[in-house]
Structure 1
């Protein structure tokens, strides 16, 4: 531990040491805020009865540990691998595996999926939710395709925002900190008439990102081009239509500007990203009887990415003859560009090579002159989804939730798809909880999905939870999960049209780059067989909750390749076996002390190094907080993850957050918040491509931030 870390630790422990904790002073268990969850089965259950391991991150935890983003909140989840490749590019996997394209983790925001199924990605830095609007985050640590279908293969993150009934009046927050961090947030909640409650919020944030990032394996000469600016607006209203009917309407808008360093080796301007997202959801809940409820949720999500740059390329790269040869034999094109005689192909390859070489020779010196023009990675996505869910309490020992749904995804991109590709998906699901005895609960269920591009999949789960006594439970879980290939993997028609060429190489001033990629369209779903033996312990006399598990996850049929224009060859050949143990502990004492801790020991055996590019054999987290009678509050958090042999560096960070609330008048509260964090390593490295490392970092390992919150 270096000098800065020691000073932070000593200062934090001195601050916490105002009094000692005493076992047995807290007679109540942890509140329902932590011990009751909804995500694993879509049924409200106690932690002891759920078929899997769950981490609950509450709004209170976010405050006391100074968490300012969802990716940083997920560092509080045991086993979650969070790697930041650039200011706006987070790669997040539960138990790691493939850092190139983390496609196996689903994210819900009040039931609306933030997982972009057309391009199999989550825009973590620009999620359509402000951290101030989050009530809780439930993370099911393990496959949950049985409840939410494909793409919930490794885990599922369920973000639940604050109910309008739980907020009132106005709130304001301003934040400033190191590396140009600037944030402003405003919220107002109130009533419309007698039956409607609403909450509206807006947020603006900006930061300068890393001091240094790499471009093509070298430290960039543009160290400051990594800033991000995000504007968010959110609206949520709840209307009591009748005593049995409730209507929930949510709207979110996101506009983001993200500076990017690299797109390709020919660029002369930065490929900065402009992102826009609009989400609208409507949920109707109808209470059929004391034992039955119907829920219908419909939503539409539109997502647009604009990423354009200017590139300067030798004119020969746009020759149609070279493009035809690329489609037949890319190795021949690479040989010609390298100035080597191509060999080993078919007679047709040789004939195309002769035509390409002749075209280059006819152009003479002009073939090697550089022409500059506009290129882009633009794309748009639209999703429309409707789902009917029925919850039925059959008896005191049997509960059931079932439903059906329909989704249509559309992706539009001239670059990636050559136009528009759509996919229609049908689904049906059922989950049941049965208690044959007071001490035994059985969870069984599954999810069926059929889509137009890949076909059908079935994801079953069976779990047995056996209570040893009132506070100790063993669980045994077996489940299957999957991930369906995305639109790009199945229908890519990837080509670059360069426009506004100077000097032009033809009369139109536009031409297609010779390199192209075409998807074969024969991929199948990735598969996972998961086995878990777990333990849940609740010790209210100590204010302690424990969760431990041993797991064995076999993943097969994985699409492990990094898909690039130069090498677009997706297969289902990847295999991984993840084994290990995981422990989570939560402590809440009556005298103001609380703690959250986790540890993961992981073994990753894979048939390809791609699936070990994000892998920590050991990782741990510790959060320690104290609420003082004087109104002061302090939270210390420590995160650590070991390095991966595949190139990922180790991660270590310590953070201290201190705050105090002041009452002004009868209704206003002012809370200043001060945070300081320290990175164990200023530079972070990760595998970015085959034989290419990406390294980013800060010139200073210590960062500061200060916020002022006002509520009225």
Structure 2
């Protein structure tokens, strides 16, 4: 008897035919909620147009929000993630995209994870009410280990499973200055796990948020949410911001239309203090704490393949301090220290983790043609694991240390025209030892309206704590026989780092007044990817009941090659109408593993095509209308069909400082499956049509 399985455990992927795939039933868009949204749109436009009509029915000027940031200004936007220094987007030799505060506000999203759907090249899929799978250029999963995420310079990548707990990454959305996203490797600067991309969430400085903000809302899925923030000046050199935020999100439905148990409750609070003790020095101290409850449904749980509904408590907090001294426009230094505490009690495993991180960076010119940036880092983590009967990690407590250094030389070959960037990250970790991650990048800017760049880089993903020493039992079709037959998946302490060699080419241009274009192409070669090899069945008496175990052993025998491109066009078609389009294409050229590996096919777990179109209109009388249409291709291996969805946002500012908004999300589908859960056997849910209203008061 041959048993096949597909499973993504702690970031690696396998094939299964154990659980049937459920195809969601998509209803007609003409439901009551859909009709309500359409009626609301018509009424808002009609009223706004009539209020704004002048003599002869001519419409008066709109609110002017779209002209606050011209496309010329977009090309001049400053980013820091691509080179660890502030530079124009047009001068970045990487596939960098910026989600601005205005983008977040006008999209109508209520989470950082959903805001990332605006980024070309990112695959953002909702698993249930409180979980997402987010990655770049393939290999997506709930814990996408090839994507590094930072929050104000603090790494939020978890070493337990690899990846990010997106339900815990949050703040007052109005306080986010921008989200910088690099598609492609950023390991030469940021280190291990920055393989397919880097996401850097950057909040505003405290002096940019004076006064108060109150926002509250609720709706069909977003049952209740609210934020309060207050900023105050402390003398002439310091500013303080305090905030608190609460959300209560209702459960989604499963593919059969039954109510799930994936509701989400979270409360958090924090502060940020920015000080300028001298003209050269800046000091930032900030901290956050959160406490939440996540609803989850665990399926196919041993010993009897049963289903368990549970509520997972999560708690955590962080404190960060950063000091920066600027010597000149081309010379500065910074020192950052943060401590992070996280606790979670999953149904199958619990974890408490403490992290201490120290980072030093220095930048200086060397002659007229070289700009050197270098740095040192140290990270210490300590964890305590609460194992369960059928999922456990050994040892149950462990310390890990990471030592790092990096150096980068920005070489001017032709002044203001041609730059060569050479650099590398050097790291020592407790799993694979010493690792080198170099890059070489070339940037040509014939003028301020055009730039061409190319790069070749090496990046690695180190094994996670779970991959290094886990054992997980799952059911088979023979689980009900006597003796029962279980799958036994095992990690390995002999794993090497996954490796990527990436080749990239990009072009940015302001094609004409009011039109901007960004394109990036890549060819990625992956080596030593984690797959499972199947061993010989054996009988064991523990854990209960006595059973036959079919073992799978984690090995580095997977290889793959991918290619693709990403396009983004930003156009001001009219002074009051802005249109932004993004298209992503991904192709798996080759994938293979050792002959004894469990069948493995990652190409069916990432969409081949993605399209996003966002339309923003400023109507008279301070009314805004935003439409967001998205297409996502099917995921054949996960039995997820392709889908098109539409979000609509209507907002009105009756007086200065007050905004009323009505948002409809996923209006074309009553139920749409976006991803099949691949880890710890929790039930995936469908994303349904929803509406919410919100009021925001700035004072």
Bin for the TM-score computed over the shorter chain:
0.7 to 0.9
**Partner Cα separation in structure 2 for residue 642 and residue 53 of structure 1:** 22
Give the 3 Å change call, closer, same or farther, for CA 69–180 of structure 1 in structure 2: closer
* Aligned residues of 1:586 and 1:595 also touching (Cα < 8 A): yes
Matched residue, 1:277: 316
The offset of 1:194, in angstroms, is: 3.2
The offset of 1:475, in angstroms, is: 1.4
RMSD, matched Cα: 3.2
Structure whose CA Rg is larger: 1
**Partner Cα separation in structure 2 for residue 385 and residue 151 of structure 1:** 16
Matched residue, 1:670: 658
The offset of 1:491, in angstroms, is: 3.1
Query: Which of 553, 560, 567 is the equivalent residue of 1:576?
Result: 560
Matched residue, 2:528: 557
Would you say 1:83 and 2:122 are equivalent positions? no
- TM-score in terms of structure 1 length: 0.79
- TM-score in terms of structure 2 length: 0.81
The offset of 1:37, in angstroms, is: 1.4
Secondary structure of the corresponding residue to residue 177 of structure 2: strand
Matched residue, 1:137: 179
* Aligned residues of 2:492 and 2:555 also touching (Cα < 8 A): no
Query: Which of 498, 518, 543 is the equivalent residue of 1:526?
Result: 498
Secondary structure of the corresponding residue to residue 569 of structure 1: strand
* Aligned residues of 1:613 and 1:686 also touching (Cα < 8 A): no
Matched residue, 2:10: none
**Partner Cα separation in structure 2 for residue 209 and residue 399 of structure 1:** 52
* Aligned residues of 1:674 and 1:705 also touching (Cα < 8 A): yes
**Partner Cα separation in structure 1 for residue 401 and residue 175 of structure 2:** 32
Give the 3 Å change call, closer, same or farther, for CA 196–519 of structure 1 in structure 2: same
Structure 2 alignment gaps of length 5 or more: 1-27, 50-58, 388-392, 475-485, 535-542, 544-548, 593-598
Secondary structure of the corresponding residue to residue 103 of structure 2: helix
Give the 3 Å change call, closer, same or farther, for CA 567–302 of structure 1 in structure 2: farther
Matched residue, 1:66: 108
Please give the per-residue CA displacement for 1:121-161, whole angstroms capped at 9, x wherever unaligned: 21112214332321100001111111100111110100000
Matched residue, 2:697: 710
Query: Which of 267, 292, 296 is the equivalent residue of 2:335?
Result: 296
The offset of 1:395, in angstroms, is: 5.5
Please give the per-residue CA displacement for 1:387-435, whole angstroms capped at 9, x wherever unaligned: 1100214466432211000011222103123421111110011222222
* Aligned residues of 2:188 and 2:459 also touching (Cα < 8 A): yes
Give the 3 Å change call, closer, same or farther, for CA 400–156 of structure 1 in structure 2: same
Secondary structure of the corresponding residue to residue 662 of structure 1: coil
- 1:406-555 alignment, distance < 5 Å: 406-415=378-387, 416-437=393-414, 438-492=416-470, 519-539=491-511, 541-555=512-526
Matched residue, 1:258: 294
Secondary structure of the corresponding residue to residue 346 of structure 2: strand
Structure 1 alignment gaps of length 5 or more: 214-218, 309-375, 497-513
Query: Which of 576, 587, 595 is the equivalent residue of 2:579?
Result: 595
The offset of 1:20, in angstroms, is: 12
Matched residue, 2:653: 661
* Aligned residues of 2:615 and 2:627 also touching (Cα < 8 A): yes
* Aligned residues of 1:104 and 1:154 also touching (Cα < 8 A): yes
* Aligned residues of 1:208 and 1:224 also touching (Cα < 8 A): no
Matched residue, 1:168: 210
Please give the per-residue CA displacement for 1:414-463, whole angstroms capped at 9, x wherever unaligned: 31234211111100112222221132122221111111222121111111
The offset of 1:601, in angstroms, is: 1.5
The offset of 1:623, in angstroms, is: 0.9
**Partner Cα separation in structure 2 for residue 268 and residue 6 of structure 1:** 37
Would you say 1:630 and 2:621 are equivalent positions? yes
- 1:227-238 alignment, distance < 5 Å: 227-238=263-274
Matched residue, 2:20: none
Give the 3 Å change call, closer, same or farther, for CA 472–104 of structure 1 in structure 2: same
- 1:309-324 alignment, distance < 5 Å: none
Please give the per-residue CA displacement for 1:548-568, whole angstroms capped at 9, x wherever unaligned: 122111112112459999755
The offset of 1:653, in angstroms, is: 1.7
* Aligned residues of 1:26 and 1:542 also touching (Cα < 8 A): no
The offset of 1:72, in angstroms, is: 0.6
Give the 3 Å change call, closer, same or farther, for CA 268–36 of structure 1 in structure 2: closer
Please give the per-residue CA displacement for 1:232-276, whole angstroms capped at 9, x wherever unaligned: 112110122333322110101111100111152456752321111
**Partner Cα separation in structure 1 for residue 154 and residue 409 of structure 2:** 23
Matched residue, 1:640: 631
**Partner Cα separation in structure 2 for residue 28 and residue 486 of structure 1:** 44
Give the 3 Å change call, closer, same or farther, for CA 614–268 of structure 1 in structure 2: closer
Please give the per-residue CA displacement for 1:29-73, whole angstroms capped at 9, x wherever unaligned: 432586321111112222222121111101111111112111111
Give the 3 Å change call, closer, same or farther, for CA 207–456 of structure 1 in structure 2: same
**Partner Cα separation in structure 1 for residue 310 and residue 443 of structure 2:** 52
**Partner Cα separation in structure 2 for residue 10 and residue 547 of structure 1:** 37
Would you say 1:619 and 2:604 are equivalent positions? no
Select between 149-158 and 89-98 the one with higher mean Cα deviation: 89-98
**Partner Cα separation in structure 1 for residue 619 and residue 563 of structure 2:** 42
